Amino acid sequence: MSVRAVIFDFGGVILTSPFEAFARYEADHGLPAGFLRRLNATDPDTNAWARLERNEVDLDGFVGLFEAEARAAGHAVDGRAVLGLLAGRLRPPMVEALRRCHDRLKTAMLTNNFVASDPGQTGDRAGPMAEVLGHFDVIVESSRVALRKPDPAIYRLVCDELGIEPHEAVFLDDLGVNLKPARAMGMTTIKVVDPDDALAELEAVVGFPLRDDRA
């Protein structure tokens, strides 16, 4: 196959996943395991999280809505504290793979985020993060385009920005729900659970080494 572009999610792919932080918060606050992820998956197109990522509500508006949703589901949460759990750490092997892809192919970031992102998100564009962002030819953020994954329109948008057809792209995301529409459009998709496994899959697709021990 002829791949012309690699599209990366950010949190959970380039950055470590927030799900471990969610689990710690739940354990520390006596919440059922998986409560935060289930809350975010309820009414996923219209809930507080979706509205924040499309920039339809500000931070204060999100906090009120999200905490009300949690109460309706039977538990109290601190909305601002939950947002703070999104701060992840860069994954150096994934950054190196991004750099190598950028040397040979078109690259894009396709991320659901919010305008008031904390420094672990794309909001901090200085220092090491600036170097990482420089490896992307195109950056599409839900908060800036008022669309979010898994809306098919955001996948069409990133392809248009890259100047490619969907079948010419491979897309990495840590959530299957975000991969399904991309795959339906013709993209090759890779679910990032174990980063090294994901990079092995990506090497097989692009046809060149992405990891130091494969150089």
| pLDDT digit string, tens, across residues 111-168 | 999 986 443 444 455 567 889 999 999 999 999 999 999 999 999 999 999 999 999 9
- Give per-residue burial for 96-132: e unless 16+ CB within 10 Å, then b: bbbebbeeebbbbbbbbbbeebeebbbeeeeeebeeb
The pLDDT tens digits of the residues spanning 61-115 come to 999 999 999 999 999 999 999 999 998 899 999 999 999 999 999 999 999 999 8
Domain with CATH 1.10.150 in the chain: 19-84
State the span(s) of the chain assigned CATH 3.40.50.1000. Answer: 5-17+89-214
The 10s digit of each residue's pLDDT in 24-46 is 999 999 999 999 999 999 999 99
Determine the Cα–Cα distance for residues 8 and 156; give it in Å rounded to an integer. Answer: 15
CA distances (Å), 155 to each of 18, 58, 104, 145, in order? 23, 25, 22, 12
From the options 3.40.50.1000, 3.40.50.1110, 3.80.10.10, 3.30.70.100, give the CATH code of 5-17+89-214: 3.40.50.1000
Q: Would you state the CATH architecture of domain 19-84?
A: Orthogonal Bundle (1.10)
How much is the pLDDT for 122?
46
Contact 63, 79 (CB under 8 A): yes
